[in-house]
Amino acid sequence: MPERTVAVASRSGLHARPAKIFVEAAARQTVPVRIRVGGGKAVPANSMLGVLTLGAGHGTEVTLEAEGPGAEEALAALADLLSRDLDAEGAEGAV
């Protein structure tokens, strides 16, 4: 299963607005994507509650995983999104 690890760049981490932008982008992908912190349990990336329960703060490394046609593209798009400061950008830069 393809994976991508990236550090959360948003100042507030994956909370509030950055989490909403990320979850909405994950929901638009053509394959299901899961996200986890370290060796923890992976949660659906399109679940706001799941993403918030990760407690991923600024600089936390998260791992994205997906499987199926389009998995690499989905992971690249979501990793790129997480590597930007979504607090500063707002929704304009969303995938």
Q: Which residues are catalytic?
A: 15
Backbone φ/ψ region at 68: left (φ over 0), alpha (ψ -120 to 50), beta = left
Distance CA 83, CA 92 (A): 15
Residue 17 and residue 71 in contact, taking contact as beta carbons nearer than 8 Å: no
